[in-house]
Amino acid sequence: MNVVAKMADASKISIIGQLYTKRGINYLLRNIFLNPRIKRILLTGADLMGSGETLLNMASKGVTLHGKVTPYQMDWLDENISIDGMKTFINNVEIVDQIGTVSPEKVSVFVDESSIGKKWSKPIEFPEPEASGSGGLPSEETVFTVRGQKVWQTWIRLLREVTRFGRPSPMIHHYGAERISEIFNLTAVVYNENSDIPDLPMWLPYTNDDIKKYAAGFLSASRGDEAYTYGERIKAYPLELYQKEWLNDSNHLTTSDSKGFVRSLTKTITDKGLNQQELLAKKLKSFPENKGAIAILWEPIIDNFGLREIWRTPCLVLVQAVIRDKKLFLTAYFRSNDMYGGWFLNAFGLLAFQKELAGMIGPDIKSGPLTTISHSAHIYESSWQLAEKLIHDHWIDVSCEWDPRGNLNVETDGKFIVVKHLSPDGIFLDECRQNGMDEKAAKRLCFTLESAGLFSTIGNAMYAARQIERAETAIKLGIKFTSDESLELGKSKKVTP
Pair (349, 223) in one structural domain: yes
- Whole-number pLDDT of residue 104: 75
- Whole-number pLDDT of residue 109: 78
Cα–Cα distance, 488 to 481 (Å, whole number): 9
Query: CATH number of the domain that 231 lies in?
Result: 3.30.572.10
132 belongs to a structural domain: no
- Whole-number pLDDT of residue 360: 97
- Whole-number pLDDT of residue 72: 38
- Whole-number pLDDT of residue 243: 55
Pair (197, 338) in one structural domain: yes
For 487, phi then psi, to 5°, come to: -80, 140
Q: DSSP label at 256?
A: H
| CB atoms near residue 490 (< 10 Å) | 6
Count of domains observed in the chain: 3
Pair (162, 67) in one structural domain: no
- Whole-number pLDDT of residue 428: 96
Pair (457, 414) in one structural domain: yes
Q: Is the distance from CB of 31 to CB of 42 less than 8 angstroms?
A: no
From 75, 96, 113, the end of a domain falls on: 113
Region of 324 on the Ramachandran plot (φ > 0 left; ψ -120 to 50 alpha; else beta): beta
Pair (305, 366) in one structural domain: yes
Q: Is the distance from CB of 336 to CB of 315 less than 8 angstroms?
A: yes
Pair (385, 417) in one structural domain: no
45 belongs to a structural domain: yes
131 belongs to a structural domain: no
299 belongs to a structural domain: yes
Pair (61, 201) in one structural domain: no
Pair (222, 326) in one structural domain: yes
**Which residues make beta-bridge pairs with 183?**
377
Cα–Cα distance, 164 to 146 (Å, whole number): 14
Pair (363, 288) in one structural domain: yes
- For residue range 171-217, list pLDDT tens digits in order: 655 555 578 899 999 999 999 999 999 999 999 989 999 999 999 99
Pair (106, 198) in one structural domain: no
Q: Which parts of 179-332 fold into alpha helices (H)?
A: 208-219, 230-235, 244-247, 256-265, 276-286
Length of the chain measured in residues: 497
- Whole-number pLDDT of residue 91: 85
From 113, 129, 151, the end of a domain falls on: 113
Cα–Cα distance, 3 to 420 (Å, whole number): 65
Q: Which residue, 233, 218, 144, 231, is CA-closest to 181?
A: 144
249 belongs to a structural domain: no
Intervals of the chain under pLDDT 70: 1-11, 62-76, 129-135, 171-177, 225, 240-272, 305-311, 492, 494-497
151 belongs to a structural domain: yes
Q: Residue type at 489? A: L
Pair (221, 315) in one structural domain: yes
159 belongs to a structural domain: yes
Range of the domain at 449: 407-491
Pair (154, 196) in one structural domain: yes
How wide is the angle at C-alpha 275 spanned by C-alphas 360 and 230, nearest 5°?
A: 95
415 belongs to a structural domain: yes
